[in-house]
Structure 1
């Protein structure tokens, strides 16, 4: 029951999925609970990714075939932004404004706290959404299975990397006004282990389902010839996501000497895009 409450709190904090009324009263809230809910960030990715996959699959089935991948990618991305309340995109805009607006650490942090969106932030959000739609449309053009697999895996793995930012860097935001501060006090080893379990389990299940659909066989009797291509796509996507994560980790350490909540949102968004890019490269390299 405690784990369920922590999961629902994470869902309440990071999405617009309603956890209200008596359910919210049962879940409760405290800074310690919010800190513990970090273990379920990848699980939030499972929920958001699953809902986006359902819409995407329906659109790909009912829309005219020629432009279905592009339309499904655009509408699915819109759906994901609504589900999360543009929480991560807002963080990306703030980081782009801060790091793009000044090379001075203190000045950059002040800019990041400003609620107004500047040129760097607006451009960053537009480009991230354009890249997301373009890459997902490419995956959809290859096949619905690859598009749905990348969506599910991308939402999960991109919500795992920010936990390592929390683990390895100090929080440097405004402690009095930061919503992320309770999450940033240092994630415990047990919470990180739970998060990695969620991530690994979701990736393994997604791989099995994708391979099963590709073979058209019973999920319990997967053909090894289809498992390997899915694993190849997963490996390329994960590697690309990991490389951009390392870059962001070093960037935040060098420019800010730590991280803010906006940095976590930026990490999620950019690592998600990198995962899709890796998947498209894998499919274009001779699959």
Structure 2
């Protein structure tokens, strides 16, 4: 009797775990069980776990930095951690940022922009955008590391997780416009239910619990303002979103999170993150 009652719950847990594995396999190079079930429909449902994938990569990158920093200077440790990040994801989101920059920057019609985005070659707009993004990320991470390791580690986890939540939430409010027969990002999620969106955002904002209310408010205002502006811009330029646009949104959100945290530190508003017991608490100066 008990086994019969638990069986449906066990099946549901297996189904959710399978969706997580699908999201993990799509966005990272991390190994997943071979018995994982795949279909375009299942991958579409896996969008609820995009931010959870970010939590996993954030924890791995935090551990990577600590490992390197145990015998190397902070600047070298950050550069190596960024390299591991690119290997971990296959530069998936960076590729999206570069492709979006090439497509929207290099054409004047929606059709031409979408065609350029599908081209695997990188152009001037994409190369310049990518170089600036990587340099800015390195500089911001170095500024955070100057405070202490707690600042940097928590910032990495937050940025990896929350940036994917904001980017993934665009699926719920914009049409998918890429040609699914040719898009490099197919079969990325093209629809999102309210429950999927809720779980995505709930996981995404979880690391904010370790920050002060002032920092949380500022970060959410910055990210929501970006989301609204980015959505309007994409609707004007291509009439919706593509997988490349979601990758670009993730990269931009990640940079905005680092920029906001560095801004607080630079203005002596956010003095530090102190470790007390098992929790990080924001300390204002």
TM-score range, shorter-chain basis?
0.7 to 0.9
Cα RMSD (Å): 1.6
Map 1:148-167 to 2 at 5 A: 148-167=153-172
| TM-score, normalised via structure 2 length | 0.85
Q: Is the 8 A contact 2:166 2:201 kept in 1?
A: no
Cα-to-partner distance string for 1:189-211 (whole Å, 9 max, x where unaligned): 1111221221233433xx1xxxx
TM-score (norm 1): 0.84
The answer (yes or no) to whether the contact 1:159–1:268 under 8 Å persists in 2 is yes
Taking the TM superposition and a 5 Å limit, the aligned residue runs for 1:119-198 are: 119-178=124-183, 180-198=185-203
Q: Which has the higher strand share?
A: 2
Shift of 1:10: 0.6
Correspondence 1:24 to 2:6? no
The 10-residue stretch of structure 1 (189-198 or 241-250) with the greater mean CA deviation from structure 2: 241-250
Contact 1:60 1:144 in 2 (8 A): no
Q: Where do 1:183-222 residues align within 5 Å? A: 183-204=188-209, 207=210
Going from structure 1 to structure 2, the CA distance change for 1:266 and 1:256 (only over 3 Å counts) comes to: same
Deviation of 1:106 (Å): 1.7
Contact 2:118 2:184 in 1 (8 A): no
**Structure 2: 5+ residue stretches without partners:** 1-13, 272-285
Moved over 6 A (4+): none
Correspondence for 1:2 among 8, 15, 18: 15
Match of 2:239 in 1: 257
Instruction: Tell me the alpha carbon deviations over residues 2-43 of structure 1, each in whole angstroms, 9 at most, x when there is no partner.
Output: 111111111011100012xxx222x21011210111000000
Bigger proportion of residues as helix: 1
CA distances 1:52-97 after superposition (whole Å, capped 9, x unpaired): 001112223322xxxx232222111111111000001111111000
In the alignment, the residues of structure 2 paired with residue 119 and residue 200 of structure 1 have an alpha-carbon distance, to the nearest angstrom, of: 35
1:284 and 2:266 aligned: yes
Deviation of the 1:234 alpha carbon: 4.1
What corresponds to 1:269 in structure 2?
251
Matches of residues 214-253 of structure 1 in structure 2 within 5 Å? 228=212, 231-253=213-235
- 1:180: Cα distance to partner? 4.2
Aligned residues: 256
The match for 1:39 is 48
- The whole-number CA distance in structure 1 between the counterparts of 2:113 and 2:49 is 30
Unaligned runs of 5+ in 1: 208-226
In the TM superposition, residue 45 of structure 1 has moved relative to its aligned partner by 0.3
| Structure 1 Cα separation of the partners of residues 176 and 263 of structure 2 | 35
SS at match of 1:24: coil
Q: Cα offset for 1:172?
A: 0.7
Kept after mapping to 2: 8 A contact 1:94/1:262: yes
Instruction: Quickly say closer, same or farther: Cα 1:238–1:139, change in 2 above 3 A.
Output: farther
Is contact 1:236-1:282 (8 Å) kept? no
Deviations 1:93-120 (A, max 9, x none): 1100011112222211111111111011
Aligned to 1:49: 58
